[in-house]
Structure 1
Amino acid sequence: MGHVIFIAGIHGVGKSTLCKSVIDPMGVKHLTASKIIKKYRQVQIENKTKYAANIDENQIILIEGLHQESIDEAVTVLDGHFALLNEQGDIIAIDTTIFSQLSLSAIALIIDEPAKIEDRLLSRDGKGYGVNRLSKMQDIEFQQAKEVAHALDIPLLTIDFRTEEDPSSTLAKFLSTYM
């Protein structure tokens, strides 16, 4: 497994849209954490192993799935989160040790105006979470990104859609250093 670049941000911030516009033309493998978890969790269910749907178990599945999916890749971009909502709706920061096991080389954190994120979620999913909750979640995401980057001694690029003139070019330039 080569370089793993983690593209992070809360639900609805625009990670996947930005990744598709930048990463797909570069020919780099682009994976989403949620799709890896769904794929490998399904395998476990089909094999009739016991599975409890919780954040910790999902992260273990993500680690194993990422290693399987990117074993022969020079560069893999993984699109995911540093903070999630648990089944009770509480915002939970994902433990730093999970990210060390993902063998990350760098992090790009995407942030935006919470009201715009709320609008995207309402439009895309038909459900919002409230601007205040999204703001708090984005703050936790940002703090956790800084903590993980520091703990792993890897670069952290923050792309703020509110101020960044050309987010696509900024991300492409950042990624090109790992090609």
Structure 2
Amino acid sequence: MTIFVAGMHGVGKTFLAKPASERLGLLHATASQLIRKERGAASWDANKRVDGIDENQRALVAAVSRIQATGRTLLLDGHFVLRGGDGEPVLLAPEVFRDLACVGVVLLEASVEQIALRLQARGDESWAFQQIARFIAEESKHAERVCSHLNIRYRKIESPTPRCFDETVATLMK
């Protein structure tokens, strides 16, 4: 079983998901970690512009399938919308989330200003406020569409506390 934690870069996916996985007894991984391990290299730059999106998603599905074969519940953090090589949003196909066997999705959101500060703290100043706002909106719209289409349980939360996040994940696991 996979619970997918989605949201814009810098929204706090790993910050919340990694300790939550320990508290809830789940396995945590980021999509980028699994893709990098499966492919033997990264296909994105420091500004999160991605090439080889289809190959990455196939690698991710293969890695997650092996994890699922162990019977562990995976708390996977990643995106519904990627930043293409040209900097524009690229919507991932719904089949990716079907193939990841997602039973629940937690979409995290935060203010444009908060995300901009976090990205700058990471050394990524390539995002304009308007672009961040666009990606937040695209991520939300696409997550809702995919979850509705695939009948995946879906919760959107803004700047949650660790306790709120844990409770949301636990609810989606039931």
Per-residue deviation, 1:69: 2.6
Aligned equivalents of 2:10, 2:71: Cα separation in 1: 28
- Counterpart AA for 2:4: F
Per-residue deviation, 1:74: 3.4
Matches within 5 A, 1:57-72: 57-72=55-70
Is residue 71 of structure 2 the alignment partner of residue 77 of structure 1? no
Give per-residue Cα distances to partners, 1:93-112, cap 9 Å, x unaligned: 11111111111100000000
Per-residue deviation, 1:19: 1.0
Given candidates 9, 16, 19, the residue that maps to 2:17 is 19
Aligned to 1:105: 103
Across the two proteins, how many residue pairs are aligned to each other?
Answer: 164
Q: TM-score, normalised by structure 1?
A: 0.85
Aligned equivalents of 2:168, 2:71: Cα separation in 1: 18
Per-residue deviation, 1:154: 1.6
- Counterpart AA for 1:146: E
- Counterpart AA for 1:173: E
Q: Look up the SS of the partner of 1:92 in the other structure.
A: strand
Contact preservation (8 Å) 1:119, 1:128: no
Contact preservation (8 Å) 1:9, 1:109: yes
Aligned to 1:176: 170
Structure 1: 5+ residue stretches without partners: 44-52
Per-residue deviation, 1:89: 1.1
Aligned equivalents of 1:128, 1:169: Cα separation in 2: 32
Contact preservation (8 Å) 2:80, 2:91: yes
Give the % identical residues. 28
- Counterpart AA for 1:172: D
Aligned to 1:87: 85
C-alpha distance 101-130 of structure 1, shift in aligned 2 (>3 A): same
Q: Look up the SS of the partner of 1:72 in the other structure.
A: coil
Q: Look up the SS of the partner of 1:7 in the other structure.
A: strand
Aligned equivalents of 1:142, 1:85: Cα separation in 2: 15
Aligned equivalents of 2:143, 2:124: Cα separation in 1: 28
Contact preservation (8 Å) 1:110, 1:160: yes
Q: Which has the larger radius of gyration?
A: 1
Aligned equivalents of 2:124, 2:14: Cα separation in 1: 18
Aligned equivalents of 1:76, 1:116: Cα separation in 2: 28
Between 66-75 and 56-65, report the one with greater CA deviation. 66-75
Aligned equivalents of 1:75, 1:172: Cα separation in 2: 14
Give per-residue Cα distances to partners, 1:123-143, cap 9 Å, x unaligned: 013434111101100100001
